Amino acid sequence: MANEFLEPITEQTFYLNMGPQHPSTHGVLRLFLKLDGEYIVEADPIIGYGHRGHEKMAESHLYEQFLPNSSRMDYLAGLILNHGYVAAVEKMAGIEVPPRAEYIRVICAELNRISSHLLWFGTYVMDLGGFTPFLYCFDDRENILDILDRVSGSRLTYSYCLFGGVAKDVDDEFITATKQFVERLRSRWDDYHNLVTKNVIFIHRAKDVGVINRELALRFGCTGPILRAAGVPYDVRKAEPYSVYSELDFEIPTGTKGDALDRYMVRLQEMEQSLHIIEQALEGLPDGAIKAAVPHKVRPPRGDYYFAVESARGAVGFYIVSDGTSYPYRLKARVPSYGNLQVLTEVLPGTLVADTISILGSIDIVVPEVDR
């Protein structure tokens, strides 16, 4: 009888858990990988480890009480989600926002977008073994946090936008600090490109890696830099202009291949466009009130309402059903990280395990947004 240990091996695949507690998953995410040696055969993103029930909480909270929740979904671009939620309720209730407040919202939202992209930039490169750019990015990001802290009293989870306006007016010091930051970040581009963009190791880890083409991105409902890196110039700020974006001039950066390098370049170019938007908004900032007269309890009329904004990761939509009371009957948040994450099921198979870190990092998900 033949020894079973001498029989030829026919099955060479095995399973590997990446996460749920792993530095490069950027949150409590578990990637269940089926491997053939170093190559991925199947990939299954397993979510739900940090579910907090934001949408269910909305049903038992006043519209005003739910304000802090919005920025705790995508905590890196919380001010943009805060803006989106209040704008959705303002649309429902027919609240007119003063022009000055709209300009302030745009300035702060774009600062928040840059801070999110800077954190992504630093951590993405650190995932690939480069530590120095991380320090540069956080040095610049601290400037933004100081600026936003001055008006909002917060450095991460903002609740600065209120129904009808903003919580506090900006002063000359805020405007001066913002202008100085714009000049500071522009002076950094050469450093960033020399450290990262031209780095041959980075190029090999990102070029032609994790290609998400136009068809795949659209099929999974991807939005934001992922979709734009695939060559689709879709941005809610242009496609469905809100606030004062229709009055401002800016471009939508796009890529061609849809690989990790394209996604990197799109985000860097978006930061420059955000600086351009901030400059215009500061130049056109009108005088006047920062908040409209709003009832103590907002009671939108019965109906279904939807409002979308462009966050740092893509389109964020708030679908709210009102039954005429001061509590939402149903609130659904359409977040970009969910669809952007699921595309990994088709992108990862056939790639190396080492490239999983680069691909996942280039997508820039925020797990609390997925597990909202």
pLDDT digits (tens, 9 = 90+) for 181-205: 999 999 999 999 999 999 999 999 9
How many whole angstroms separate alpha carbon 136 and alpha carbon 128? 16
Largest distance between two CA atoms of the chain: 93
Does residue 216 carry a pLDDT above 60? Answer: yes
Spatial distance between the Cα atoms of 322 and 302, rounded to a whole number of angstroms: 5
- Nearest by Cα to 266 from 141, 162, 132, 117: 117
Please give the average per-residue pLDDT across 211-238, as a whole number.
95
Q: What is the torsional sign of CA 357, 24, 365, 84?
A: negative
H or E segment and range at residue 320: strand 315-322
Residue ranges and CATH numbers for the domains of the chain are 51-370 (1.10.645.10)
Q: Please report the DSSP string for 47-103 in residue order.
A: --TT---HHHHHTTS-TTTTHHHHTTTSTTSHHHHHHHHHHHHHHHHTPPPPHHHHH
How does pLDDT run across 242-296, given as a tens digit for each residue?
999 999 999 999 999 999 999 999 999 999 999 999 999 999 999 999 999 999 8
Q: How many residues appear in the chain?
A: 372
pLDDT of residue 26 exceeding 90:
no
* Predicted local confidence at residue 14, as pLDDT: 87
In the prediction, which pLDDT does 24 show? 75
Q: Name the nearest CA neighbour of 294 among 104, 169, 161, 150.
A: 161
Per-residue model confidence (pLDDT) at position 25: 76
For the chain, where are the alpha helices, taking DSSP H only?
54-58, 67-70, 78-93, 99-127, 132-152, 172-192, 200-206, 214-219, 225-229, 236-239, 260-283, 336-342, 344-347, 353-363, 367-370
Confidence of residue 6 (pLDDT cuts 50, 70, 90): low
Report the 10 Å Cβ neighbour count for 283. 9
Examine the pLDDT at 66 and tell me if it is beyond 90.
yes
342 beta partners = none
What are residue 289's phi and psi, to 5 degrees?
-70, 155
Residue 1 has pLDDT above 50, yes or no: no
